[in-house]
């Protein structure tokens, strides 16, 4: 049994408080805190109900000690360097100032994990073009790569054959495409940036109490993302 399989079984079994191995700990009280990143250039404050939905899924399916309150930190604030998981999203321009660029690179290169979601769900939109340009400046022109279907992200907790589609894609919004893959940036064999044009943030932006009306809980993939971030 591999290390990741053991950790997944431990989480699923409800074996008491689970402290995931990682480079940094959140606090002595929590294993996980949802940290949203503010940045000066764009509209970072999107899908405001999404974090509570992800938090609910983690509490429901895992034994992680989860902070029930979203943390919002400026990317330029050094405190973000201590987060175990960061989320960055928006519709508009992404143009990091020098502090933001320095912290993003330092965080990712030192073992941090950033989930970046394009709320335009459009490969040619302003957010996509500008964010991808920032990643090319920081990590190199070819740093963002397509994730293979066998990537450990897709089996870190639940098992997925493909990244789940969103209702925004299926309704033909954005670029009228269903994006059949995600992209990411790996540092020393570990995914440090997960990048989505699928608009998961808006897909999961509903009152968590309404999950009971869904045939399938669509935030299960969020559990995979967080568990991968904490255990890979």
Q: Helix 220-231 vs helix 50-61: angle between axes, to the nearest 10 degrees?
A: 70
Mean pLDDT of the region 62-75: 96
CA gyration radius, the chain: 17
Render pLDDT for 108-161 as a digit per residue (tens, 0 to 9).
999 999 999 998 877 788 999 999 999 999 999 999 999 999 999 999 999 999
Per-residue pLDDT at 123 = 76
81-90, 93-102, 197-206, range with the lowest pLDDT = 197-206
User: Vertex 86, ends 156 and 164: CA angle to 5°?
Assistant: 45
Which residue has better confidence, 180 or 228?
228
Predicted pLDDT at 106: 98
Q: What is the mean pLDDT of the chain?
A: 85
Residue 9: the pLDDT is: 47
Closest CA to 228 of 35, 84, 110, 106: 84
- Residue 186 tokens read as 């790996």
* pTM attached to this predicted model: 0.85
Q: What residues contact 55, with CB distance under 8 A and at least 6 apart?
A: 34, 66, 67, 68, 70, 208
Helix (H, G, I), strand (E, B) or coil at 36: strand
The whole-angstrom separation of Cα 156 and Cα 69 is 24
Look at residue 11 and tell me whether its pLDDT is greater than 70.
Answer: no
pLDDT digits (tens, 9 = 90+) for 188-214: 999 999 999 988 998 899 877 777 777
Query: Residue 214: which region, alpha, beta or left (left: phi > 0; alpha: psi -120 to 50)?
Result: beta
* DSSP structural state of residue 120: T
Q: Is the pLDDT of residue 99 over 50?
A: yes
What is d(CA 185, CA 12) in angstroms, rounded to the nearest whole number?
28
Taking the C-alpha atoms of residue 113 and residue 105, their distance in angstroms, rounded to an integer, is 11
- What local confidence, expressed as pLDDT, does residue 201 receive? 92
pLDDT of residue 170: 63
Hey, what are 211's tokens? 């999950």
* Distance in angstroms (rounded) separating the CA atoms of residues 125 and 175: 9
Domain locations in the chain as residue ranges: 3-231
Name the architecture of domain 3-231.
3-Layer(aba) Sandwich (3.40)
Which two three-digit tokens encode residue 202? 């808006």
Residue 119, pLDDT score: 87
C-alpha closest to that of 160 among 219, 208, 109: 219
Angle at 54 between CA 52 and CA 55, to 5 degrees: 60
> What average pLDDT does the segment 216-232 reach?
93
Residue 52 reports pLDDT greater than 80: yes
């Amino acid at each position: 049994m591999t290390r990741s399989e053991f950790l997944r079984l431990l989480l699923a079994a409800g074996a008491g408080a689970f402290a995931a191995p990682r480079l940094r700990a959140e606090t002595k009280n929590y294993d996980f805190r949802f940290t949203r990143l503010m940045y000066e250039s764009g509209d970072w404050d999107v899908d405001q109900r999404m974090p509570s939905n992800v938090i609910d899924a983690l509490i429901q399916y895992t034994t992680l000690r989860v902070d029930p309150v979203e943390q919002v930190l400026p990317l330029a604030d050094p405190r973000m360097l201590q987060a175990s998981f960061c989320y960055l999203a928006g519709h508009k321009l992404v143009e990091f100032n020098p502090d933001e660029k320095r912290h993003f690179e330092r965080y990712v290169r030192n073992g941090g994990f950033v989930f970046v979601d394009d709320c335009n769900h459009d490969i040619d939109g302003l957010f996509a073009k500008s964010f991808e340009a920032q990643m090319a400046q920081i990590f190199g022109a070819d740093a963002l790569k397509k994730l293979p279907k066998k990537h450990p992200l897709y089996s870190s907790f639940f098992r997925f054959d493909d990244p789940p589609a969103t209702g925004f894609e299926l309704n033909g919004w954005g670029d009228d495409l269903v994006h059949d893959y995600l992209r990411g940036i790996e540092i020393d064999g570990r995914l440090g940036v997960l990048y989505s044009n699928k608009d998961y943030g808006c897909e999961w932006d509903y009152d968590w109490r309404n999950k009971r009306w869904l045939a399938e809980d669509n935030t299960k993939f969020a559990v995979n993302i967080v568990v991968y971030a904490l255990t890979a």
